[in-house]
Structure 1
């Protein structure tokens, strides 16, 4: 693959993208580049005031809508108001927070990063399916490689590690994305689902969630090791717009350790291709969220 950049994004005129967590970091950069290339972008944000401030600096056609992925009622309200969308970018997330819970009592990272996006995808799927060349892009992390699903303690009730809970949520993103691909293919759906990760990219994710030494490490890493958000966002932009993308693919940076660089096709950790675990996670996610999802 040649060194793909944002300049290579095809014209997106007439297409509508929903980008979660779009008021800062990767989400804001994704919204910016899509709008520059003609897309209408629905920017979802937890804080409408911050969202409007972020949107004011963007070109093209954008709108701000409230969505809190840590509250399934908020997810339902948002989805009910979306009448048209062609692409969903499941970008928002929280990282390595102290032990907290969502509005429905789920562990915050699993509840936000996985369950919130599972519910959103389920609720928006009928709209997306009716769109033009529909895609669902879910953002994971290199740390999915350290993750596993503890089905006996999904909510980390017995023991809690900020980093282990984050890795579990990012591993869940990959299991979900690959299982969704299998189900879309089996159903003959026009939609495709794609995974992406940003490598090590400097955003406020590393500093707004972690506390103590994890926070200090995030700040130092952002200064010394991380790539700029304009590079990190290329992977999800490629996954969302490149014509050659196929369902079930996974894109990340082409540099050493997939930490920096331009988009390339990458592989998930082998354990994330476990179809039995993926089906079980899907069934558990339906039960926990209350939303059934049959493509």
Structure 2
């Protein structure tokens, strides 16, 4: 079996790629690789100055557009400005274990950004997508549970990691239900997911700010054993361009999926629950006001 590296990313000339959160971390690396392979890459970022700085480090056809996934008005405006075909949408942007916060629409910040923002963006862009939708999840999904009674942490004390785990579980349930719907209507578009393993990115910033000796020791160990951003981006690229079926989930192939060459990996029982995936989709439609836009293809 050939180990997947960036050398396996094919020529992307003539293809358009949208990468959310592409100004830093694995999103920046993925965008950089795809642009170098000839794609027209749209860096969909909240901070245009940071996006421009990232674009300046890349070779190829790169464009920066503003997208704030924590504001559905911004998501709609971004989608409205995307008028041409999209060959690859990479839902990469995300938050990890911040203090309690709310999106512009009142959602808990991690659930609202990591899941609902990408849910709305994907469905708004889906009529233009002609290749693949890749959503970046996390091994933390294994500790997640969708609390349908209180998905936005309005009735119970906020706990940052369970909220993060819920949002990452939602990413995988979203991917599974999206693929089911795409298959149902006869669409050739594929939905896949990936996780970077333990990668040293700016997502760890909130943890670095912890002051307790135990937390600082944990972060020292994390940074010591974490793989680089470049290696962390490989599962995303694998899910984006490798010959894998819809619904696939890619991650590092090493110990506990923390690092190593990408391969298809498993997911928790909760992430395979079709009934919960359908219910989450319905709830997400109700919260965002965005619905699945594709109709069944006529029989040939």
Q: Under TM normalisation by the shorter chain, which class is it?
A: over 0.9
- 1:183-234 superposed Cα distances (whole Å, 9 cap, x missing partner): 1111110101001000000001011477525974674244212000110100
- 1:124-149 superposed Cα distances (whole Å, 9 cap, x missing partner): 00111xx3xx1000000000011010
TM-score, reference length from structure 2: 0.94
CA distance 1:44–1:209, shift in 2 (3 Å): farther
Partner of 2:196: 198
Q: Give aligned pairs, total.
A: 290
1:277 aligns with 2:283: no
Show the 5 A alignment for 1:81-100: 81-84=81-84, 85-100=86-101
Partner of 1:125: 126
Partner of 1:43: 43
Match of 1:179 among 152, 173, 177: 177
CA distance 1:216–1:290, shift in 2 (3 Å): farther
Taking only aligned residues, the RMSD between alpha carbons, in angstroms, comes to: 1.4
Q: Which runs of 5+ in 2 are unaligned?
A: 295-300
- 1:60-105 superposed Cα distances (whole Å, 9 cap, x missing partner): 1100000000000000000001112111000000000101000000
Partner of 1:293: 292
Partner of 1:107: 108
CA distance in 2, matches of 1:36, 1:261: 23
CA distance in 2, matches of 1:223, 1:247: 33
Q: Which runs of 5+ in 1 are unaligned?
A: none
Partner of 2:159: 161
CA distance in 2, matches of 1:162, 1:153: 14
Partner of 2:246: 247
SS of 2:33's equivalent? helix
TM-score, reference length from structure 1: 0.95
Maintained 8 Å contact 1:175/1:273: yes
Match of 1:151 among 140, 148, 151: 148
CA distance in 2, matches of 1:294, 1:192: 15
Maintained 8 Å contact 1:12/1:39: yes
